[in-house]
Amino acid sequence: MFPAASLLTIIFLALSIAGSPVEIDNSPITLPIARRLNLSDGPINLLQRDKARVTALRDNSLSTQGGHTFSTPLINNAIGYLITVGIGSPATTYDLIVDTGSSNTWVGANTKYVKTKTSVDTGEPVAVTYGTGSFSGTEYTDTITLGTGLTIPSQSIGVASTSSGFPGVDGILGIGPLDLTNGTLTNEPLKTIPTVIDNLYSQGTISQKMFGISFEPTTSDLVTNGVLTFGGTDATKYTGSIAYTPITTTFPSSTYWGINESISYGSTTILSSTAGLVDTGTTLVYIASDAYAKYKSATGGTLDTATGLLLISSSQYKALKNLNFHIGSETYALTPNAQIWPRSLNSYVGGSSNAIYLMVSDIGTPSGAEVDVINGYTFLERFYSVYDTANSRVGFAKTSYTDATTN
């Protein structure tokens, strides 16, 4: 866990919330979201913190009670995306991590919960253990305000009496699948808790139970460049059409936003069709150990002890080929530039200023281990992604930044 007092470098993103369904040309509600680099221990040991989340995702063994399954959601404390939300009436503001890998919304890690006339104590104990943190406390229902005109009455929230592993933030806004809330109510372990997406839909605020996310490559420590849309997609953030693929049936990837995919480097297949998952809380792209070995050999990368990332020379960078993710009937190519850490941010991960580091890493188990790929932020900053709860599918589209050379 990290100390409560933290030195944070903030990369500001924009968060656009859409209350109207389907395609949105100009969202009437735009909220700020911050991409936080947690420098509480000095330069980020990115790989170590990233892998704490990856290991929990990969090794997530569900317990069973009465035939029902439970899982553990995860948080990566190295890099997070923060949204300021209001809770109560009058509202108190809280900075929450936006996370697709967990589904409980809770507050109180730093700023304490303030009861108002809209606060209702359900009396239910609630607790969640994450990959690198935890909280426990009491469930309340209250009004959440995400922006002018976008409120969620009677939203379940956890109010932490104790928490660990969340320096500089107040809690989480969980937008993962509903089933990730199973087992979090101590006295009602078989009960799920409606997420903010569920309630926006059931209350008629949005007409589709889905959300879209747009990130763009980030090369400086102060930039506004992200959009989250509830209830549909933002057509200004992608090109062409969105192609959907169903949630995989392979467990435990099926617990999250999991998909089936295969990978090729150039024209050479390095990973046959297998289960992976899409995760905003993981920074890098992780692939099965045997696929990683093939990728490492093909690129000529050597393991850099300072960062834990693969290091390549300028000549090796010029020789890089596309890393292709075959999902459904579509191919999504990470270009050579998309495979490298932004060189202007090398110092943040303890790297040399002129070095070139690859953002593909070893998941830690051979293929066939049921979570063989994690498409993290490295992938998502090059493609628009859509999370369709109602139809149990994930969609992708190219963007104007798919082939960007800014890294």
Cite the active site residues. 99, 279
DSSP sequence for 310-352: EEE-HHHHHT---EEEEETTEEEEE-TGGGB--GGGGGGGT--
Cis peptide before 252 (omega within 30 of 0): yes
* CA distance linking residue 301 with residue 286, whole number of Å: 15
Phi and psi torsions of 348, nearest 5°: -70, -25
CA distance 259 to 255: 11
Cα 199 to its chain centre, rounded Å, is: 21
In the structure encoding, which two tokens stand for residue 108, read together? 């109180």
Q: How far apart are the first and last CA of the chain?
A: 30
Q: What are phi and psi of 77, to 5 degrees?
A: -85, 0
Measure Cα distances from 352 to 1, 116, 217 in Å: 27, 51, 20
Buried residues in 36-45 as b, exposed as e (16+ CB within 10 A): bbbeeeeebb
